[in-house]
């Protein structure tokens, strides 16, 4: 599963928009949308060894939680 063990961050959906044409600020008539494809944005998960409630476990944690110091790494 691609879910952070600490904050519960998971993949979100969005669109990939394909365009053609020259932008108006470059002298064109504007960009035209030629296709919209669904896509997913995945959280940046890292497998790290963590001290959870006195026991050492390997869990997937997002880099936001690691940088914020929400977990205690085991060396």
35 occurs within a structural domain: yes
Q: Mean per-residue pLDDT for 59-64?
A: 96
63 has a pLDDT exceeding 90? yes
Q: Mean per-residue pLDDT for 52-75?
A: 92
7 occurs within a structural domain: no
Query: What CATH number has the domain bearing residue 20?
Result: 2.20.150.30
CB atoms within 10 A of CB 62: 23
CA distance 38 to 34: 14
Q: Mean per-residue pLDDT for 20-38?
A: 97
CA distance 58 to 51: 9
CA distance 10 to 42: 7
Q: Which domain holds residue 46?
A: 12-68
Given its phi and psi angles, is residue 65 left (phi above 0), alpha (psi -120 to 50 degrees) or beta? alpha
| Count of structural domains, the chain | 1
1 occurs within a structural domain: no
What value does the mean pLDDT of the chain take? Answer: 95
């Amino acid at each position: 599963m691609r879910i952070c063990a600490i904050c519960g961050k998971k993949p979100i959906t969005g669109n990939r928009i394909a365009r053609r044409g020259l932008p108006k600020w470059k002298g064109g008539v504007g960009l035209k949308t030629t296709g919209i494809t669904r896509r997913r944005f995945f959280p940046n998960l890292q497998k790290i060894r963590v001290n959870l409630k006195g026991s050492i476990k390997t869990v997937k944690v997002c880099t936001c939680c690691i940088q914020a110091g929400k977990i205690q790494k085991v060396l």
